[in-house]
Amino acid sequence: MGSVLAFPIAAALAVICRKRWEDTVLPVTTAMIAVLLLSGMFTTFLPGVVFCILAALAATVFCVRTALRDRKALTTVLLSPGVLFYLLFFLFFLYINLGGVVAGKADTWAHWALAVKNNRYFDDLVIGSPSTDRYATYPPALPIWNYLSTRLWFRYSEGMTLLGQDMLYVTLLAPLFRIIPAGRYP
């Protein structure tokens, strides 16, 4: 559910910078991962999670205020092909990953699931001794993003881990939608 937090922050940043939403979602996602990484390096992940939640709440309040004062500024940002692409894939992956239609085998004992589980259970950047992960030296960005997705869910869920991973891939593709002209949609 980290994707849900990134959405309003990217929208608010797009309104402030007068950019399209697809221009801001990747930097926002990268910044959220960096905040969690720094938080995990110096304390635990919890201050980073709280910061991301507060930033998303502040961005939501900003977007609502902007919509009440200047509806055109927000609709210009949100009525773009990148937002439609992002929302459609979010719903698709939500259905696929949480609906029990997961293609392939589970990742329960492989690297990504172990890294996310260890991060979730210890609420810390787990690399080394308490970890049962054989590949603990892999770059931690994807497990950190998946940690945020599972942390905002009720419990650890393989489907939520896959949803976070899939939405990170969609976020990486979102800037490609800049080439499609905005404003030609009802």
Mean pLDDT value across residues 89-100: 84
Four-residue CA torsion sign, 40, 142, 98, 132: negative
- Pick from 10-14, 63-67, 93-97: least confident: 93-97
Compute the radius of gyration of the chain from its Cα atoms.
17
The 10s digit of each residue's pLDDT in 121-167 is 777 776 654 455 566 667 778 888 888 888 888 887 788 888 888 89
Q: What is the DSSP string of 40-86?
A: HHHS-SHHHHHHHHHHHHHHHHHHHHHHHH-HHHHHHHHSSHHHHHH
Percent of the chain with pLDDT over 70: 83
**Residue 4 clears pLDDT 80, i.e. is over it:** yes
Sign of CA dihedral 125, 113, 174, 95: negative
CA angle 37, 83, 36 (to 5 degrees): 5
Whether 186 has a pLDDT exceeding 70, the answer reads: no
| Residues 118, 87, 13, 53, Cα dihedral to 10° | -40
Between 86 and 105, residue with greater pLDDT: 86
When pLDDT is averaged across residues 10-17 and rounded to a whole number, the result is 93
21-43: burial string, b at 16+ Cβ within 10 Å, e else = bbbbbbebbeebbebbbebbeee
101's CB contacts (< 8 A; 6+ apart) are 95
Better-predicted residue by pLDDT, 123 or 39: 39
How many CB atoms are closer than 10 A to CB 51?
15
Q: Between these two residues, 52 and 154, which has the higher pLDDT value? A: 52
Cα 71 off chain centre by: 26
* CA-closest candidate to residue 49, choices 1, 113, 86, 97: 1
Mean pLDDT, the chain, as a whole number?
83
Supply the pLDDT for residue 185: 47
Q: What is the pTM of this model?
A: 0.85
Check whether 13 has a pLDDT greater than 80.
Answer: yes
Q: Mean pLDDT, to the nearest integer, of 53-65? A: 95
Residue 43 has pLDDT above 50, yes or no: yes
